[in-house]
């Protein structure tokens, strides 16, 4: 079994999503001691944003400069990590109403036509539906269903859309929200998310 752990927060040890995603990985590791875990810190080692040069450079028989070739190979490595993983744990903070740009750069490397999805007569078809994905979404304010700001939430909603597009229609999502509303609210949100993480089933 292989687990891919991806963190998109830029806040290091102060990050709620990192704290909860690490707790999830620890729980799954304890239940499956033989897990191989690959960790990708998208803030510590950011991926370059996708470019036209890289899209062209990934085509067969492309002639690339060394920097473009490095970017192409990095994209292939990121994609292979994702494809090889049985379980994917994603730390996804809400920044300015959406995902961090670091996490978006990673998503752009795993949505690859002909590999994780394809277009057919009926439209798009996801190709990696067999994976288990657990996402931790942290939010400073309150954006849950029925709240005044619900329509402004574009992290969890975007992530669910992206995953469904490639065939993962039932991700497990743990939300910690209200963490910027004061120390007590932060602690409640973190404690609730950690409780949810501790209740995750092994499979």
Query: CA geometry: angle at 7 spanning 30 and 183, to 5°?
Result: 90
Query: CA geometry: angle at 22 spanning 20 and 23, to 5°?
Result: 65
Sheet strands (E) in 1-78? 2-7, 36-41
Q: How many CA atoms lie within 13 A of 62 on its CB side?
A: 16
Task: Show the domains of the chain with their CATH numbers.
Answer: 2-199 (3.40.50.360)
Question: Is 21 known to sit in a ligand binding site?
Answer: no
Question: Is 139 known to sit in a ligand binding site?
Answer: yes
Residue pair 104/60 in contact (Cβ under 8 Å)? The answer is no
Residue 128 — very low, low, confident or very high, per pLDDT cuts 50/70/90? very high
Q: Please write the tens of the pLDDT for every residue from 151-183.
A: 999 999 999 999 999 999 999 999 999 999 999
- Look-up of token digits 């999805």: 117
Question: Is 12 known to sit in a ligand binding site?
Answer: no
- Check pLDDT > 80 for residue 202: no
Measured between alpha carbons, how far is 136 from 27 in angstroms, rounded to an integer?
14
Question: Is 44 known to sit in a ligand binding site?
Answer: no
Residue pair 130/87 in contact (Cβ under 8 Å)? The answer is no
Question: Is 9 known to sit in a ligand binding site?
Answer: yes
Give φ, ψ of 47 to 5 degrees.
-85, 140
Measured between alpha carbons, how far is 45 from 41 in angstroms, rounded to an integer?
6
Q: Please write the tens of the pLDDT for every residue from 104-124.
A: 999 999 999 999 999 999 899
Question: Is 72 known to sit in a ligand binding site?
Answer: no
Question: Is 17 known to sit in a ligand binding site?
Answer: yes
Q: Which helix (H) or strand (E) holds 150?
A: none
- Check pLDDT > 90 for residue 201: no
Measured between alpha carbons, how far is 118 from 124 in angstroms, rounded to an integer?
6
Which pTM was predicted? 0.95
Q: Token digits for 118?
A: 């394809």
Q: Please write the tens of the pLDDT for every residue from 39-87.
A: 999 999 999 999 999 989 898 888 888 999 999 999 999 999 999 999 9
Residue pair 129/88 in contact (Cβ under 8 Å)? The answer is no
- Look-up of token digits 């239940």: 31
Question: Is 101 known to sit in a ligand binding site?
Answer: no
């Amino acid at each position: 079994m292989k687990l891919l752990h991806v963190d998109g927060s830029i806040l290091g040890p102060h990050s709620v999503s990192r704290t909860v995603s690490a707790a999830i990985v620890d729980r799954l590791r304890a239940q499956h001691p033989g897990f191989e875990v690959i960790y990708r810190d998208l803030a510590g080692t950011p991926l370059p944003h996708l470019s036209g040069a890289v899209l062209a450079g990934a085509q067969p028989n492309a002639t690339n400069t060394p920097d473009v070739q490095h970017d192409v190979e990095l994209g292939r490595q990121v994609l292979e990590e994702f494809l090889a993983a049985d379980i994917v744990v994603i730390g996804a903070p809400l920044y300015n109403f959406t995902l961090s740009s670091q996490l978006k750069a990673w998503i752009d490397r795993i949505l690859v036509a002909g590999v994780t999805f394809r277009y057919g007569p009926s439209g798009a078809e996801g190709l990696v539906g067999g994976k288990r994905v657990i996402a931790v979404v942290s939010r400073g304010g309150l954006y849950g269903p029925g709240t005044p700001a619900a329509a402004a939430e574009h992290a969890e909603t975007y992530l669910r859309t992206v995953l469904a597009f490639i065939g993962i229609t039932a991700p497990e999502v743990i939300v910690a929200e209200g963490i910027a509303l004061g120390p007590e609210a932060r602690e409640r949100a973190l404690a609730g998310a950690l409780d949810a993480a501790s209740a995750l089933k092994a499979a």
